[in-house]
Amino acid sequence: MSLPPRGPAIEKDWELLMEDVLGEFLLRTYLETSLPRPQAVKAASGWGGDRFRLLRDDSGRRLFVAVIVWDTTIDAREFFEAYKEFTVRAQQWESHEEDESMAAWHTPGRSVLLESKGEITLIGIAPDQETLDLIAKDFP
């Protein structure tokens, strides 16, 4: 699986630190930091592949982008719902927006985007809303 190319603004302003695979085990372990183990196991099962990028800008701010492919749309929906709960439990947020296929959370210095399209899920963790908007433009 591959990530879409970085858009011009991301390419220009952000240095690639790492691109790799999370894998089902690491994804489940990450979810277990804020969710009960059975819920994390269920959310990570059905993982079909992923790719992530970690980037840094000149001021040291970090940007994380992951695209995860699920075996079925049901698996993708289970993860989407679990990751929403995970994000709410993990941190206090000043604002939140959500619809059927997207959720975003914001607080000073950190914004999180979660999008689901069929069997594909996008996670973006950025220092601000503006950077999240750049990520969303690159999502297929």
Scored b (16 or more CB within 10 A) or e, 4-17 reads eebeeebeebbeee
Question: Residue 46 CB: number of other CB atoms within 10 A?
Answer: 20
Highest mean pLDDT among 19-28, 88-97, 131-140: 19-28
pLDDT digits (tens, 9 = 90+) for 8-63: 557 778 899 999 999 999 999 999 999 999 999 999 999 999 999 999 999 999 99
Domains of the chain (ranges, CATH numbers): 16-138 (3.40.1000.70)
pLDDT exceeds 70 at position 7:
no
Q: Degrees (nearest 5) of the Cα angle 71, 63, 78?
A: 25
